[in-house]
Structure 1
Amino acid sequence: MKPATLAFDVYGTLINPLAMAAPLAEIAGDKAGALAKLWRETQLAYSFRRAAMGAYAPFSQVTEEALDYALDAIGIQATSAEKAALLAQYTRLPAFDEVPEALAALAKIGHKMHAFSNGTLEDIGTLMDTAGLSTFLGDPVSVAGVQSFKPDPRVYALFEEKTAAEARSVWLLSSNPFDIIGAGQAGWNTIWVQRSPEIPFDPWGKRPTHIVSDLSEVAALIG
């Protein structure tokens, strides 16, 4: 296969948002895992709603609003300082264990690789630098450029514009089925990273081109 343009979703694909359970444990105790999960689910739900309403706000604001909801829903009290510390930690989340080696293998093949995220360019840059992934990736692409969120078709067109890539040469790698379906609708090749065997793919929309359990399988698959 000729070198391609690879678009890596960030949250849930390169970076583990549920790792927030560790810092959340300081204020939530044994509810930390549930709180981290609800925070992430609400963050996505709010992004979908804002995209549908045309009521864009930076993803960092969406993340803060989702944290406020999750804390209230689970009944956890947090001070302003504690919330600020949690939001700062969200920009320093770790990569999944296999990611650095997987990106290094893909870089050796010559694929052009970019982080492609709902996050702001600043937050994406901080995440990639902290996780040690920036060296493998080109300039990140943020959906903020079209004031919307995935899977709005405009975000996939924006990626093509920013990277000068044709749809048929782009591969999206994402753990999020909605993102895979959106990219497939845009004419992209897709690889669904099914990080848990218990998570099924959505029963509608275009199926992923390939399914992997983590990114360590990708180099052999499209190398």
Structure 2
Amino acid sequence: MPQTIGFDVYGTLVDPVEMGTHLEALIGDQAKEFGQLWHEKKVEYAFRRSLMQQYQDFSVCTLQALRYCMKVFKIDLSEQAQQALMAEFANLAAFNDVVPGLKSLKQQGHTLAAFSNGPEAAVHTLMGNAGVLPLLDDVISVDDIRIYKPSPRVYQYLMETTGSTVDNCWMVSGNPWDVIGAKAAGLKAAWIQRDPAKIFDPWDIEPDLVVNDLIEFSEQLTDF
């Protein structure tokens, strides 16, 4: 049975920690740690803004998280350098399994959408640069409803936008909090466990599938 599948973008289709490579010239061997903290902090800021009902788009969260990391690592970057780093988010590469995995899912007749906390225009550009856009049926952003995942309103919006229901709508994410949010809203969900050392949050809410990558997801989805 054809399914509607929403894919998280950062951490699922593309690797945001790859930003560390653009930091190497600026901060040397701390680049990887800086990139990881930057990613974690921007997600935290999005969560906090949702709880406070003080929405700003994800680019604001990202820039503020960058400035937080600059303070932590005691690095002074010019405004121009900060904006140059922000611009690199449009050039993140897709994980190697993404294109073949999406092609397989398209061949199976599923509807595929990028579903992100990022602004739609930015995600659209990113997906195009990563070579993923031609395989997607839609790019959907929480910016339209001004609240972030994992609010249940967000997953409801995914179903409304795609004309799907809890019976045929999946959320696929490399982030456990996203999977838990989707399951709590009634969707089916798959966790892409790209790092075997990563632990799924023990919330008594389990994913319908746990796979290593999108190729494995496309293979296992045939059982549903």
Aligned twin of 1:78: 77
Distance in 1, Cα, partners of 2:37 & 2:31: 10
The residue type paired with residue 90 of structure 2 is: T
Aligned partner of residue 148 in structure 1, secondary structure: coil
The residue type paired with residue 51 of structure 1 is: S
Unaligned runs of 5+ in 1: none
Alpha carbons 1:115, 1:137 under 8 Å: kept: yes
Deviation string, structure 1 residues 97-130 (Cα, Å, up to 9, x no partner): 1111111111111100000000000111011000
Distance in 1, Cα, partners of 2:174 & 2:218: 17
| Matching of residue 195 in structure 1 with residue 190 in structure 2 | no
Aligned twin of 1:37: 36
Q: How does 1:52-67 map to 2 (within 5 A)?
A: 52-67=51-66
Aligned twin of 1:159: 158
Distance in 2, Cα, partners of 1:120 & 1:195: 25
Aligned partner of residue 102 in structure 1, secondary structure: helix
Alpha carbons 1:8, 1:172 under 8 Å: kept: yes
In 2 relative to 1, CA 17–138 (structure 1 residues): closer, same or farther, beyond 3 Å? Answer: same
Q: How many residues align?
A: 222
Q: How does 1:99-178 map to 2 (within 5 A)?
A: 99-178=98-177
Alpha carbons 1:145, 1:158 under 8 Å: kept: no
Distance in 2, Cα, partners of 1:124 & 1:84: 17
Aligned partner of residue 24 in structure 2, secondary structure: helix
Distance in 1, Cα, partners of 2:89 & 2:69: 15
Alpha carbons 1:6, 1:111 under 8 Å: kept: yes
Residue 168 of structure 1 deviates from its aligned partner by: 1.8
Deviation string, structure 1 residues 141-189 (Cα, Å, up to 9, x no partner): 1011211101011101111111111122111110111110110011111
Residue 62 of structure 1 deviates from its aligned partner by: 0.7
Deviation string, structure 1 residues 51-73 (Cα, Å, up to 9, x no partner): 00001000011111111111111
Aligned twin of 1:87: 86
Distance in 2, Cα, partners of 1:109 & 1:92: 29
The residue type paired with residue 133 of structure 1 is: V
Residue 212 of structure 1 deviates from its aligned partner by: 0.5
Aligned twin of 2:219: 220
Alpha carbons 1:5, 1:111 under 8 Å: kept: yes
Residue 205 of structure 1 deviates from its aligned partner by: 4.2
Higher deviation after alignment, 89-98 or 46-55? 89-98
The residue type paired with residue 219 of structure 2 is: A
The residue type paired with residue 115 of structure 1 is: A
Alpha carbons 1:10, 1:115 under 8 Å: kept: yes
Aligned twin of 2:15: 16
Aligned-residue RMSD, C-alpha: 0.8
List structure 1 runs of 4+ shifted beyond 6 angstroms: none
Alpha carbons 1:195, 1:214 under 8 Å: kept: yes
Aligned twin of 1:50: 49
Aligned partner of residue 168 in structure 1, secondary structure: coil
Q: TM-score, normalization: structure 2?
A: 0.97
Distance in 2, Cα, partners of 1:63 & 1:205: 31
